[in-house]
Structure 1
Amino acid sequence: MFVVMSDSHTDRRVIESIKEYYQDKATAIFHCGDSELPSSDPIWEGITVVAGNCDDDEGYHDFLIKEVEQQRILISHGHLFYVGLGLERYSYFAEEKNVDIALFGHIHQPVAQRINQILYLNPGSVAQPRGAHQTKMYALVEKKGKKIEVSYRNLNHEPIPDLQFLL
């Protein structure tokens, strides 16, 4: 099981809380950008993080690819692929990189969908939710046989009932 969060926008405490809760439970923790914290912040030890459009620290990467639980995972904030307009550009990039899962942030809304066998996942925002779900949230991802279970959680680490998926 791994954890995905995004768009914390200077709220270091929320990153710290999620990290502390999962550091001995999860195989990986990802942050999809827009933390607005320095890339040298010790909070990032044990967390894979990328640059968002609000992160002007050059120590961050625009995207990374990690192997976790036999899954090849692409992590990006998504703004460079215009994810606010849809996933078409990001899907071309993800397919080119031959990944199983493509994580992204930027839109502050939960997304869990498959396109051409790749799971695209946005964990929503831990600080500034937008859209239909006005809950500060993150996602847990766990491989279940040939499917992937995605469980969105609120900041009390409780499942959000209508945001539980087996894809």
Structure 2
Amino acid sequence: MKALIISDSHGWGEELQVVLDRHRSEMDILIHCGDSELDGDHRAIEGVKVVKGNCDFGDDFPNERTENVNGVCIYVTHGHLYNVKLTNVPLSYRAEELQAQIACFGHSHVATAFLENGVIYINPGSIRLPRNRVEQTYCICEYNGTYATVTFYEYNGEVVSDMIYHYHLS
């Protein structure tokens, strides 16, 4: 299973489409973790699984979603409803409740990936307004059931060399 995960593009429609189109043909799923600030029918997010962030208004997107891709359960939320800027505990409870293998979130604009209690947590950062790093990031997760790799990329498609994470899963 191969997933592109992006978040917090904050109104960047054309720029978002550039990133998605760069990888679209090689992905099993495209995920946007909220704060796109785009309407649900915007061409940039066609075919993308999008959730609602705190800067998204209207009812175009759900607050959370669970996607099953090639037998992998992926939970997606923006994170503001789980207080992810302060703690990952409420998010982890929800991911475990849904039996997710991967939990994707945004909101903090801080790119990170970590493994906890058998769940891979991924925040792709922000392609527009990154925090804690200068790179405007998104990521790709490759997952085969026993092994996963999360690779972060800069907006221009270059790999962020110190942000490649490998996980052995039981």
1:91 has 2:87 as partner? no
1:112 counterpart residue number: 113
Q: Separation in 2 of the partners of 1:44 and 1:161?
A: 27
Alignment of 1:82-161 (within 5 A): 82-131=83-132, 133-144=133-144, 146-161=146-161
What secondary structure, in the 3-state scheme, does the structure 1 residue paired with 2:62 have?
Answer: coil
CA distance in 1, matches of 2:70, 2:108: 27
**TM-superposed deviation, 1:44:** 2.2
- SS of the equivalent of 1:23 reads helix
Which amino acid in 2 is paired with 1:104?
Answer: F
Question: Could you say what secondary structure the match of 1:61 adopts?
Answer: coil
Mapped partners of 1:160, 1:103: distance in 2: 19
Q: Residue 24 of structure 1 aligns to a residue in which SS?
A: helix
CA-based RMSD of the aligned residues comes to: 1.1
Name the TM-score, length of structure 2 as normaliser: 0.94
Distance 1:145 1:51 in 2: 28
Distance 1:14 1:41 in 2: 13
Q: Secondary structure at the match of 2:25?
A: coil
User: Distance in 2 between the 1:80 and 1:145 partners?
Assistant: 29
Please give the TM-score of this superposition, normalised by the length of structure 1: 0.96
Long gaps (5+) in structure 1 = none
**Contact 1:39–1:57 under 8 Å retained in 2:** no
- Which runs of structure 1 show a deviation greater than 6 angstroms over 4 or more consecutive aligned residues? none
Mapped partners of 1:145, 1:57: distance in 2: 37
